[in-house]
Structure 1
Amino acid sequence: MRSPKLIVSALALVVGASSAAHAGGELYFYNWSNYFPPKLIEKFEKETGIDVTLDVYDSNETLLAKLQAGAAGYDVVVPSDYMVKIMKDAGMLEKIDVASMPNFKNVAAAFADPPFDPGRAYSAPYLWGTTGFTYDSARVPNGRLEESWKSFFEPPAELKGQVAALNDEVELWNAASYYLGIDKCTEDSKDAQKILSVLEKQKPMLAMYQSDGTIERMIAKEVIVHMQWNGASHRTREKLPTAVYVYPKEGIGLFQDNFVIPKGAKNVENAKIFINWMMAPENIAEATNFAGYMNAINGSEQFMDASLRDDPAVNMPADKIGLLRPSKECSTKSRELRDKVWTRLKK
């Protein structure tokens, strides 16, 4: 996916949409699957003249592996918080000083200076959310599951083969660590063995490990319980009103996804135009409305669908805020333990 390098004046970024409309050229965008509205791509192309090609992946680790393997065609990619730091520390990102972009003024203070990228030198916020699980209340015993990771890791016997997990090493490790009360960045092999035991015990109950198609799978009633990101749960509930998103009492993972530009990108200036454009309230709101995740841009609320405000999966109840467990960048030793557990589990 190599294309001729098109030099676009940085002035287009400074003077705003009117100049950006004449930018032209190409942009190769690598994002999570089912996570960006096609209509928003069309809008960007119409306003800027930049042609966008979108490829998708299913996990941060897939993104990292592909870039490390030499994939050199992408101009904008969307890693989560902890992965931004990993990529930055590995010299894989362009320093683009997002804080100096015109639309950065719209970024909410809580997202303007994150620990994984102080000063927003390398990244801009996209969407944020939580990772819990969803169940169909019409098809579980007594119509209700306990608000605990136990319902996911040790489901009732009647649900055997009707539970699906994300195919995501980090999310499963983290959820099991919350369930067990273990630090998710543990370096203790005994803790890792406990996590592995929980995952191995759960495995015969599962229909699959799969991160793609979680919404469609639940709506089609292929499974009854699915580990999901909260935005996916919201979109499930739109077609399956009996779907319930669980905030487990042991804790729930909080993630924030971000726009970055890989080192060596061919269309850096077009990528900057795109990133700045996405920090406009009316544009990011379209992404929120499509994906079902909140964003970090002030003023976007006026463009958001009312259904998002009314769904507890998206608009987190105040009494659940204490359950949030932000992402952490774990040590190399801890990550190696996690990798070993995942490899053993997936044999």
Structure 2
Amino acid sequence: MKKTMVAMALVLASPAYADGELNIYNWGNYTSPEMITKFEAETGIKVTITDYDSNDTALAKIKAGGHGFDIVVPSGTYVPIFVGEGLLMESKPNEMENFKHMDPQWVDVEFDKGRNYTVPWQWGTVGVTVNTAIYGGDINTAAVIFDPPEELKGKINVVPEMNDVMGMAIHYVGGEQCTADKEVLMKVRDTLQAAKPNWLSMDYGMIEKFAAGDVAAGVNWNGASFRAREKNADIGFGYPQTGFPVWMDNAAILSDAKNVDEAKTFLNFIMDPENAAMLSSFARYANGIAGSEAFMPEDMKTSPEIVVPAELKAAAYVAKTCPPEATKLYTAIWTELQK
């Protein structure tokens, strides 16, 4: 009897493991394997990750239903769209234990005031990646993409993310974010159509191709450019002087999630500073969790892809959700561009 009681005491004293699963739908090559391994070991929850390459791809898949996903990671510009479509659960991250670690500047964001739906995943900038061994000119300009020099023609990739590319093009022709001015948008349309013959591709997941020299320039995200530079020291990242967006991707639970408790456990888990740092160390972007800096690599504190030059900070703007009338015009231009 004594042995039985001791055995029971040991069981009760050991960590409680959930015997569940979690299905995450996220951008490709964007989730730290080390962090997932840690989460599975600490919780007993088995994680499956499925990739997508753009916000529009994710939105279409979720709206179609029957997807089987529990968590999605939309950009801030798409969070209101997901909420408006009834696709996200009001999971109240602001009531979770680790919410206390969220950096105050990322709590009352325009796309999710007070954080009733989402938790920060990563944040960064959209700029221009250039192989400086091929082109030695100014890389802090969107002209690298929209009016490229001879050295770069036929060697350019543009990410398949409408808002990022349209935003850069709108500022390049002198417009403002979310403009519905048809004269400005005609200039944008003409600029994009004239530039496209000089592009090689409009693809996602180009880190290896930039590193190998298969692509020489492109519209890109700063963390992806950082990872390419780690493999090829000639890779540089430019901040267009005419304007570049600052964005944040956010984890949220889907309204039709089957594994809600497991999903809430995960959202709370990634708000822990050490776990948030694992995400940043892998993807090479900043995150919205205070105290995570102490766990991140030293090179992220001085990286040119993370630290915006003082003279270019004024060109940054926070990406926001545009009105439907503007988005409809952008979609028409984008659809034509992809033909």
TM-score by length of 2: 0.93
Alignment of 1:38-53 (within 5 A): 38-53=33-48
**Cα distance between partner residues in 2 of 1:222 and 1:290:** 23
Q: CA deviation at 1:145?
A: 2.5
Pick one of 121, 133, 138 that aligns with 1:145.
138
Cα 1:114–1:224 change in 2 (3 A) is: same
Q: Which residue of 2 aligns with 1:119?
A: 114
Do residues 317 (structure 1) and 309 (structure 2) align?
yes
Larger Rg: 2
Superposed CA deviations along residues 289-313 of structure 1, whole A, max 9, x for unmatched, are: 0000001111111110111112110
SS in 1 for 2:36: helix
Q: CA deviation at 1:188?
A: 2.6
Pick one of 316, 319, 334 that aligns with 1:327.
319
Pick one of 177, 184, 196 that aligns with 1:191.
184
Comparing 87-96 with 50-59, which one deviates more in the overlay?
A: 87-96
Cα 1:326–1:71 change in 2 (3 A) is: farther
One-letter identity of the residue aligned with 2:170: S
Q: Which residue of 2 aligns with 1:4?
A: none
Number of aligned residue pairs: 327
Kept after mapping to 1: 8 A contact 2:128/2:140: no
**Cα distance between partner residues in 2 of 1:167 and 1:70:** 23
Superposed CA deviations along residues 237-281 of structure 1, whole A, max 9, x for unmatched, are: 111111110011111111101010111100111100000000001
**Cα distance between partner residues in 2 of 1:335 and 1:346:** 16
Do residues 255 (structure 1) and 250 (structure 2) align?
no
Kept after mapping to 1: 8 A contact 2:246/2:317: yes
Q: CA deviation at 1:162?
A: 1.1
SS in 2 for 1:124: strand
**Cα distance between partner residues in 2 of 1:313 and 1:325:** 16
Q: CA deviation at 1:189?
A: 2.5
**Cα distance between partner residues in 1 of 2:14 and 2:107:** 26
SS in 2 for 1:222: coil
Cα 1:71–1:146 change in 2 (3 A) is: same
Q: Which residue of 1 aligns with 2:8?
A: none
Kept after mapping to 2: 8 A contact 1:173/1:184: no
Do residues 31 (structure 1) and 26 (structure 2) align?
yes
**Cα distance between partner residues in 1 of 2:319 and 2:93:** 22
**Cα distance between partner residues in 2 of 1:96 and 1:19:** 28
Cα 1:244–1:20 change in 2 (3 A) is: farther
SS in 2 for 1:62: helix
Cα 1:20–1:339 change in 2 (3 A) is: farther
Q: CA deviation at 1:202?
A: 0.6
Do residues 240 (structure 1) and 232 (structure 2) align?
yes
Kept after mapping to 1: 8 A contact 2:72/2:253: yes
**Cα distance between partner residues in 1 of 2:105 and 2:252:** 19
Cα 1:197–1:20 change in 2 (3 A) is: farther
Q: CA deviation at 1:150?
A: 1.1
Kept after mapping to 1: 8 A contact 2:22/2:48: yes
One-letter identity of the residue aligned with 2:37: E
One-letter identity of the residue aligned with 2:140: E
Kept after mapping to 1: 8 A contact 2:118/2:251: yes
**Cα distance between partner residues in 1 of 2:110 and 2:160:** 27
**Cα distance between partner residues in 1 of 2:62 and 2:333:** 24
Q: Which residue of 1 aligns with 2:298?
A: 306
Do residues 168 (structure 1) and 161 (structure 2) align?
yes
Q: CA deviation at 1:23?
A: 1.7
Q: CA deviation at 1:146?
A: 4.4
Q: CA deviation at 1:100?
A: 0.8
SS in 1 for 2:128: strand
Pick one of 318, 329, 337 that aligns with 1:337.
329
One-letter identity of the residue aligned with 2:174: G
Cα 1:215–1:37 change in 2 (3 A) is: same
Pick one of 180, 187, 196 that aligns with 1:203.
196
SS in 2 for 1:294: coil
Kept after mapping to 1: 8 A contact 2:273/2:290: yes
Q: CA deviation at 1:229?
A: 0.3
Do residues 104 (structure 1) and 104 (structure 2) align?
no
Pick one of 271, 292, 306 that aligns with 2:263.
271
Kept after mapping to 2: 8 A contact 1:218/1:226: no
Q: CA deviation at 1:20?
A: 7.7
**Cα distance between partner residues in 1 of 2:102 and 2:89:** 20
Pick one of 81, 90, 95 that aligns with 2:85.
90
Kept after mapping to 2: 8 A contact 1:72/1:265: no
Kept after mapping to 2: 8 A contact 1:80/1:258: yes
**Cα distance between partner residues in 2 of 1:280 and 1:185:** 35
Kept after mapping to 1: 8 A contact 2:134/2:152: no
SS in 1 for 2:49: strand
Cα 1:72–1:109 change in 2 (3 A) is: same
- Unaligned segments of structure 1, at least 5 residues: 1-17
Kept after mapping to 1: 8 A contact 2:69/2:254: yes
Do residues 157 (structure 1) and 150 (structure 2) align?
yes
Pick one of 68, 76, 79 that aligns with 1:81.
76
One-letter identity of the residue aligned with 1:72: H
Q: CA deviation at 1:322?
A: 1.6
